[in-house]
């Protein structure tokens, strides 16, 4: 596995020429995922019962939009792989809506159940599940528990390193707040692309004969299936 600085350097290199795409995609993502549920919540106004109904509607819409999380994540995997990243890739999760939504729902349920026990185990499990969308992208036949279990297998022994990678972004996060959130349009692509670099290193470690360098992604390639977790 590479160092945190190397993942960040790889992300910066991959984002060269793609910063605008990443920033625009982030803005659209935030407007849709944050804006539409809020509008739905406010569309039902009036007394306290109406406000509760509005909140419930907003929550339902939020869940229905969860496949955009998949699209946003995979967009930056394509950035890292130099695989023609496009803003419209945000909506790729809707191409296989049921599978993506169902897997995302399972991830959130599992993490919530762990958080109900203790916050720290919930956070740890969140990192265990963090590669689920990448696994689904590279192995379309895997979904639901299979994709989640494969993510857990890949992250075994690597959760702390990914946590430290996220922790290293704290300074940029503070700067993003100081710029009234504008900086987040560039921090989010940076962090997502660094995560993609981390994932690429994980599968290179799991499959030593496969690719492990971003230069291998100038053209789309067929990626090996992971061994299914029994």
The Cα angle at residue 172 between residues 170 and 173, in degrees rounded to 5: 60
What pLDDT does 228 receive?
41
Structure tokens at 202: 């994980």
pTM of the model: 0.86
CA–CA distance, 7 with 43 (Å, rounded to integer): 43
Q: Which residue ranges of the chain lie beneath pLDDT 50?
A: 211-230
Do 222 and 103 form a contact (C-beta atoms < 8 A)?
Answer: no
Do 16 and 29 form a contact (C-beta atoms < 8 A)?
Answer: no
% of residues, the chain, pLDDT over 70: 86
What pLDDT does 223 receive?
45
CA–CA distance, 40 with 61 (Å, rounded to integer): 8
Which tens digit of pLDDT belongs to each residue from 181-227?
899 999 999 999 999 999 999 999 887 665 444 444 444 334 444 44
Do 198 and 76 form a contact (C-beta atoms < 8 A)?
Answer: no
What pLDDT does 226 receive?
42
Do 15 and 190 form a contact (C-beta atoms < 8 A)?
Answer: yes
CA–CA distance, 132 with 74 (Å, rounded to integer): 11
Contacts of 186 (CB under 8 A, 6+ apart): 19, 22, 23
């Amino acid at each position: 596995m590479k160092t945190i600085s190397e993942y960040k350097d790889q992300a910066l290199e991959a984002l060269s020429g793609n910063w605008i795409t990443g920033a625009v995609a982030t803005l659209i993502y935030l407007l849709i995922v944050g804006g539409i549920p809020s509008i739905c919540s406010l569309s039902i106004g009036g007394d306290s019962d109406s406000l509760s109904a509005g909140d419930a509607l907003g929550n339902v819409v939020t869940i229905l939009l969860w496949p955009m999380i998949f699209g946003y994540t995979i967009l930056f995997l394509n950035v890292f792989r130099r695989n023609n990243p496009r803003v419209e890739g945000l909506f790729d999760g809707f191409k296989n809506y049921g599978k993506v939504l169902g897997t995302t729902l399972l991830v959130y349920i599992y993490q919530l159940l762990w958080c109900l026990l203790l916050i720290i185990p919930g956070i740890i499990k969140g990192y265990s599940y963090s590669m689920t969308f990448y696994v689904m992208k590279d192995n379309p036949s895997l979904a639901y528990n299979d994709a989640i279990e494969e993510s857990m297998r890949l992250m075994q022994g690597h959760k702390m390193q990914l946590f430290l990678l996220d922790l290293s972004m704290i300074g940029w996060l503070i700067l993003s707040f100081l710029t009234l959130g504008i900086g987040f349009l560039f921090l989010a692509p940076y962090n997502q692309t660094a995560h993609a670099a981390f994932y690429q290193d994980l599968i290179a470690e799991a499959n030593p004969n496969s690719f492990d360098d971003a230069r291998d992604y100038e053209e789309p390639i067929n990626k090996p299936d992971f061994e299914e977790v029994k």
